[in-house]
C-alpha cells in the first residue's frame, strides 16, 4: 500500500498539472474559448495524528464559476480548522463572490465582496467590498499575467471595541506558467492598504492531475497584517497543505 501511494505521488509530482484557474480572488485570468459555461472545484485536505500527539487539520475549499456573455461570475468558500489535544489552535472561514467583465482586448472591470471570520486574528469578522480596473498583460499557451487595482470598503468588527469603517486601496496580480499540456504553476498576490493597517496575501499552487477529474494540489498561503488588533496571536499566518482537488 505504501509503495502504491509513493508511486502515485511521484507520478503526480512529475506532472504538475492544474485546472484552468485557481481560486478567483487575486486577479484571475480570463476564460478560454473552450471553458464550459458552468464549472466548479472542490478541494479537501485532512490529517489526523494519534498516539503521543493527538491532532487533526482540516482544509476545505470550493469554487463555482459560470459565464454570461462577457461576464464571469464566481463564488468561493473556504474553511480551516486545526486542533491539538482537544484544543483548537486555528479556525478560519471565508465566503466571497466575484464579477469580471471583459472588454475587447486586454481590459476588464472587476468587483468582489468577501466575508471572513478568523477566531485567532483579533477580529470577530471582516466584510470587504472592492472594485476597479484590470489589465491582462500576458495571454498565451504558456504564460498568463494579469494586474488589477481599485478602491474599496472594509468593515472590521472587533471583539472588545467599536466597529471600524475603513477605505481600502487594493492591488493584485496573478501569474501562471504552463510547463506542458499537463503542467502549471500559479502565483497570486494581493495588497490591501487602509489607514489602520496593510494586509498582504500570497498563494503559490502546484497541482498534479491524477485523472480527468481528480488532482493532487500542493499549496503555500501567506497572510500578513501589519497592525492587527492587540489580542491577535500573530501578524503572519502561513499554511502549507497537500490536498485532493475534484473538478467538474
Q: How far apart are CA 217 and CA 142, in angstroms?
A: 19
What integer pLDDT is reported at residue 192 of this predicted model?
96
What integer pLDDT is reported at residue 13 of this predicted model?
34
Contact 45, 244 (CB under 8 A): yes
What integer pLDDT is reported at residue 195 of this predicted model?
95
What integer pLDDT is reported at residue 7 of this predicted model?
41
Q: What does residue 51 show for φ and ψ, rounded to 5 degrees?
A: 120, -120
The DSSP call for residue 53 is S
Residue linked to cell 498568463: 144
What integer pLDDT is reported at residue 52 of this predicted model?
66
pLDDT under 50: residue ranges of the chain: 1-24
Give pTM, 2 decimals.
Answer: 0.82
Q: How far apart are CA 64 and CA 42, in angstroms?
A: 9
Amino acid at each position: 500500500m505504501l509503495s502504491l501511494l509513493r508511486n502515485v505521488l511521484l507520478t503526480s509530482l512529475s506532472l504538475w498539472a492544474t485546472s484552468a484557474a485557481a481560486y478567483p480572488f487575486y486577479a484571475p485570468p480570463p476564460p478560454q474559448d473552450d471553458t464550459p459555461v458552468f464549472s466548479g472545484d472542490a478541494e479537501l485536505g485532512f490529517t489526523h495524528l494519534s498516539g503521543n500527539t493527538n491532532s487533526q487539520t482540516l482544509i476545505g475549499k470550493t469554487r463555482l464559476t459560470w459565464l454570461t456573455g462577457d461576464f464571469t461570475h464566481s463564488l468561493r468558500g473556504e474553511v480551516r480548522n486545526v486542533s491539538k489535544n482537544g484544543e483548537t489552535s486555528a479556525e478560519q472561514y471565508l465566503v466571497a463572490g466575484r464579477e469580471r467583465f471583459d472588454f475587447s482586448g486586454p481590459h476588464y472591470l472587476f468587483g468582489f465582496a468577501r466575508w471572513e471570520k478568523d477566531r485567532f486574528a483579533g477580529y470577530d469578522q471582516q466584510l470587504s467590498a472592492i472594485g476597479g480596473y484590470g489589465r491582462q498583460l500576458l495571454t498565451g499557451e504558456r504564460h498568463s499575467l494579469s494586474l488589477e487595482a481599485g478602491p474599496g470598503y472594509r468593515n472590521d468588527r472587533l471583539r472588545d471595541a467599536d466597529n471600524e469603517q475603513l477605505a481600502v486601496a487594493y492591488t493584485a496580480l496573478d501569474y501562471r506558467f504552463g510547463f506542458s499540456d499537463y503542467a502549471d504553476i500559479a502565483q497570486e498576490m494581493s495588497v490591501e492598504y487602509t489607514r489602520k493597517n496593510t494586509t498582504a496575501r500570497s498563494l503559490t499552487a502546484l497541482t498534479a492531475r491524477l485523472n480527468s477529474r481528480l488532482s493532487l494540489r500542493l499549496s503555500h498561503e501567506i497572510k500578513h497584517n501589519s497592525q492587527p488588533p492587540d489580542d491577535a496571536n500573530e501578524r503572519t499566518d502561513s499554511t502549507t497543505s497537500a490536498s485532493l482537488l475534484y473538478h467538474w
